[in-house]
Amino acid sequence: MAFDPANAIQNLQFFGEFGGVNPSISDSSTYTFLAAKTMFDTFEGNADGCYLYSRHSTPSNLYLASALAAMENTEAALVTASGMGAITPVFLHLCEAGDHVVSSRTIYGGTYAFLKNFAPKFNLTTNFVDITNLELVEAAITPKTKILYCETVSNPLMEIADIKRLSAIAKKHGVKLVVDNTFSPLSVTPANLGADIVIHSLTKFINGSSDTVAGVLCTTRELVDDMCNVTDGAAMLMGSTLDSLRAASILKNLRTLHVRMPQHSKNALYFAQQFEADGVKVIYPGLGSHKSHEIYKSIMHPDYGFGGMLSIDVETEENASALMEAMQEKNVGYLAVSLGFYRTLFSASGSSTSSEIPEDEQAEMGLSPGLIRFSVGLDCNAETSYAKIREVMTAIGLI
């Protein structure tokens, strides 16, 4: 049977300490030992099943990590206190001063800012390229390149990374392919296509209730152990540890992800089709007009659809502001950043989540000041919701 990420999660069976159907939450920052020697062995990582200190590891974080590793079909995973808390240690662990990264130029603004402004302090440099142009990608790789970085569906331009081909390029040059899969959980399994490390901001669809900030990296057991090494592991030493209470609540929400994603995808496809029919410039990988529609179709698990994210371009910041304010007024959703909530969220990326990218570079990559990114909600009636959007677009003269 073909790999189904939702089944992989469901096939896990966890019990709580008192026979509960949810694993017990470990509500301690430190753990006791009957023998001093076991404490020493645990510190050295040689005492399986023992816990020492909650920055190192906790039962709740390990439960969540094992479910996410199952979902992404990797040997292991490491949960972190934010998506950025998963992203930054990957670069700092795999690269040394003088090394080089090739990254998609359309990525989350925080990741872009880290690579562009922060990493050079440690003499780690990055070439930002159009990830859909595989010749450019390969040409940018140098003998110093350690990482090829992209998002499966890019934020906010919805470019699709052809992970299979990118992985072939990465393998040819001995480079690690790191894929941020935040926009496409369940829809795409990057590790099955050759990605070495798969990252999520759990803050988004996976948790799905906009009440938590968290992240994960999914990869080999060896790399997770290395990154958690107490003497030189970047994840351990940067200290981006997820709290156990949050890990437990994210695990509970993860179990309904396979019910939520098809509804996000169905509503987003409906909105995208309506925007297109109304003559609004719309980017959604589920539309035949999307330049990488066929690539996405070839890599996705069809049951979960093309995802809940779409962007429209209303050309100017003024148009974008007027539309977003009017949509919020009509209760289409919220004028807010982030994604994966049960209500639709919208924001103008150029002046919010991508504002770290200088304006001239935004223009070069096609990020217009009028670009509005939608995280389409779980609306029970997308027709009614779109009717409100059409009404406000008509009222402010956009259609």
Quick check: 308 binds ligand PLP (CB under 6 A)? Answer: no
CB of 158 to ligand PLP, least distance (A): 11
Which ranges of the chain does DSSP label H, i.e. alpha helix?
Answer: 5-10, 36-43, 59-72, 83-94, 109-113, 134-140, 163-172, 221-227, 234-238, 244-254, 257-277, 293-299, 317-329, 359-365, 382-395
Stretch 88-147 residues interacting with ligand PLP (CB under 6 A): 108, 110
150/332 with CB nearer ligand PLP: 150
d(CA 336, CA 328): 10
d(CA 203, CA 46): 33
- Which span sits near ligand PLP by CB under 6 A: 12-20, 81-89, 122-130, 319-327? 81-89
213/228 with CB nearer ligand PLP: 213
Quick check: 215 binds ligand PLP (CB under 6 A)? Answer: yes
Residue pair 111/356 in contact by the 8 Å Cβ criterion: no
Helix (H) or strand (E) holding 80: strand 76-80
137/158 with CB nearer ligand PLP: 158
Quick check: 210 binds ligand PLP (CB under 6 A)? Answer: no
CB of 35 to ligand PLP, least distance (A): 40
CB of 134 to ligand PLP, least distance (A): 21
CB of 345 to ligand PLP, least distance (A): 11
- Which span sits near ligand PLP by CB under 6 A: 82-90, 118-126, 159-167, 239-247? 82-90
d(CA 376, CA 341): 8
Total residues contacting ligand PLP (rule CB under 6 A)? 14
d(CA 289, CA 311): 13
CB of 178 to ligand PLP, least distance (A): 12
DSSP sequence for 340-389? --SSEEEEEGGGTTTTTS-HHHHHHHT--TTEEEEE----S-HHHHHHHH
Length of the chain: 399
39/336 with CB nearer ligand PLP: 336
138/159 with CB nearer ligand PLP: 159
Quick check: 83 binds ligand PLP (CB under 6 A)? Answer: yes
Three-state SS at 209: coil
Q: Which of 104, 203, 240, 362 binds ligand PLP (CB under 6 A)?
A: 203
Per-residue binding letters, 4-43, with ligand PLP (x by CB under 6 A): ----------------------------------------
Quick check: 241 binds ligand PLP (CB under 6 A)? Answer: no
Residue pair 3/191 in contact by the 8 Å Cβ criterion: no
DSSP sequence for 63-79? HHHHHHHHHHT-SEEEE
* Cis before 5 (ω within 30): no
Residue pair 67/60 in contact by the 8 Å Cβ criterion: no
Per-residue binding letters, 330-369, with ligand PLP (x by CB under 6 A): -----------------------x----------------
110/233 with CB nearer ligand PLP: 110
CB-side exposure of 249: number of CA atoms within 13 Å? Answer: 13
d(CA 375, CA 73): 26
Interface residue list for ligand PLP (CB under 6 A): 82-84, 108, 110, 151, 155, 180, 182, 201, 203, 213, 215, 353
